[in-house]
Amino acid sequence: MLVLGIETSCDETGVALYDTEQGLLADALYSQVELHAEFGGVVPELASRDHLRKLVPLVHQVMQQAQRPLSDLNAIAYTAGPGLIGALMTGSCMARALALALGIPALAVHHMEGHLLAPLLDKAPPAFPFVALLVSGGHTQLIQVEAIGRYQLLGESVDDAAGEAFDKTAKLLQLGYPGGPRLAALAQQGTPHRFAFPRPMTNRPGLDLSFSGLKTHTLTCIRELEAANTLDEQAKADVAWAFQDAVVDTLTIKCKRALKHTGYTRLVVAGGVSANLALRQRLDQLLQGMGGEVFYPALAYCTDNGAMIALAGALRLAAGEQDASPPPALRPRWP
Ligand code: KG4
Ligand code: ZN
């Protein structure tokens, strides 16, 4: 079965074509990063307008790349939430109009299910069951994954998501937008252990997380350095190192706990922050020590993309899911 996937929840227009026999056939991504950079963050109305401009050309592009006509499609999957409402509307209108014209199902996909399943795009995908750590700009969640569609939330951030904390901390260090990858790059120049940052919510039981305190801790640290007139480039890198180490350490502690709690030996890490190399190193070490295995999406599929939505739709279609009638509402917030 051939499924077109459309992702427009935030600032990337992603379109891809997934075949249940042959895997990913074509994939196109347009990032709006430059459009939003001068505003220091995503401007929702600009995002929607730009998705509108890019959607039709990108659909043509993937069909041409795979050399398949639209009439070969068996379904169209689109992100129905969570995300920016206007941006979600552009992708869902495109998907549902095209599906209606072709007489095929339009499947509403949860953006985080897309992230969660992204490692299954790999040639050596993880087997079920596994624990998933989803770390994106909007979510930080630990999920017990028994099978496709059988997910149990084990814990999540009670405030900022890990990616959001990276972005906000990068802003405090005046690193510009998008902040996460820039902060990670700066941390590589940092002196280890010059500053000691807390590991929030690790000294009590449970799998919930919290990251807003780390951002405040960074602010206090920066103010002290400024007051002492010692906030130079090296000091900024040292702060970045300490912040990243605290996030990575906290996530590692919670992953270990989630694996022990479930008795599972496989960990899947996905979402934008799963591109972080320091996090990958620590989780590799953890799973090696526990005799388990850790799986990440290829770097291109860590952040938002259409391939993960096409895959999630294809797996749902193969599991018997049909077009919902009336179509489900878009959900900017979707637990
Ligand atoms: O999954 P994603 O593309 O979008 C959401 O669904 O939110 O994740 C984007 C988030 C941003 O907060 C970005 O700063 C963060 O992922 N991110 C990183 C890295 N690459 C992306 N954070 C830390 N280190 C990175 N290398
Ligand atoms: Zn995402």
pLDDT in tens, 149-176: 999 999 999 999 999 999 999 999 999 8
Q: Quick one: pLDDT band at residue 274, thresholds 50, 70, 90?
A: very high
Containing 154, the helix (H) or strand (E) segment is strand 150-156
Ligand nearest to the CA of 114: 2
Best mutation site among 9, 29, 303 for ligand 1 pocket (most ligand atoms within 8 Å of CB): 303
Tokens representing residue 254 in the block: 């919670």
CA–CA distance, 46 with 8 (Å, rounded to integer): 12
Which pLDDT belongs to residue 326?
82
What DSSP designation does 157 have?
A: B
Binding site membership of 81 for ligand 1 (Cβ less than 6 Å): no
The strand pairing partners of 267, in sequence order, are 131, 294
Q: Is beta strand 12-19 parallel, antiparallel or unpaired with respect to 23-31?
A: antiparallel
Q: Annotation-wise, does 27 bind a ligand?
A: no
Which pLDDT belongs to residue 117?
97
Task: Give the torsion sign (CA, 30, 87, 147, 289).
Answer: positive
Rounded to whole angstroms, what are the CA distances from 12 to 23, 46, 92, 210, 298? 22, 12, 14, 27, 17
Helix, coil or strand: residue 152: strand
Binding site membership of 243 for ligand 1 (Cβ less than 6 Å): no
Helix, coil or strand: residue 260: helix
Q: Annotation-wise, does 306 bind a ligand?
A: no
Evaluate whether ipTM surpasses 0.90: yes
CA–CA distance, 8 with 226 (Å, rounded to integer): 40
Instruction: Let me know the angle formed at the C-alpha of 22 by 18 and 26, rounded to the nearest 5 degrees.
Output: 40
Q: What confidence tens digit (pLDDT) does each residue in 290-328 have?
A: 999 999 999 999 999 999 999 999 999 999 988 887 888
Question: Which residue type, as a one-letter code, is found at position 199?
Answer: R
Rounded to whole angstroms, what are the CA distances from 95 to 79, 88, 99, 126, 235? 9, 11, 6, 29, 49
Task: Find the length of the chain.
Answer: 335
The strand pairing partners of 14, in sequence order, are 7, 29
CB 204 within 8 A of CB 252: no
**CA 291 from chain center: how many Å?**
26
What's the 193 CA to ligand 2 centre distance in angstroms?
A: 31
Q: Annotation-wise, does 167 bind a ligand?
A: yes
Please check the confidence at residue 253 and state whether its pLDDT lies above 90: yes
Q: Annotation-wise, does 149 bind a ligand?
A: no
> Of all residues in the chain, what percent carry a pLDDT higher than 70?
100
Please check the confidence at residue 187 and state whether its pLDDT lies above 90: yes
Tokens representing residue 83 in the block: 């995300």
- Average pLDDT of the residues of the chain: 96
Its pTM surpasses 0.90: yes
Q: State which ligand 1 atom lies nearest to the alpha carbon of 279.
A: 24
Which pLDDT belongs to residue 322?
86
Which pLDDT belongs to residue 335?
87
Which pLDDT belongs to residue 143?
98
Please check the confidence at residue 178 and state whether its pLDDT lies above 90: no
Please check the confidence at residue 1 and state whether its pLDDT lies above 90: yes
Residue with tokens 């951030």: 157
Q: For the chain, how are helix, strand and coil distributed in percent, rounded to 5?
A: 50, 20, 35
Q: What confidence tens digit (pLDDT) does each residue in 203-232 have?
A: 999 999 999 999 999 999 999 999 999 999
Which pLDDT belongs to residue 240?
98
Best mutation site among 79, 135, 140, 166 for ligand 1 pocket (most ligand atoms within 8 Å of CB): 166
Binding site membership of 304 for ligand 1 (Cβ less than 6 Å): yes
CA–CA distance, 95 with 108 (Å, rounded to integer): 9
CA–CA distance, 256 with 290 (Å, rounded to integer): 9
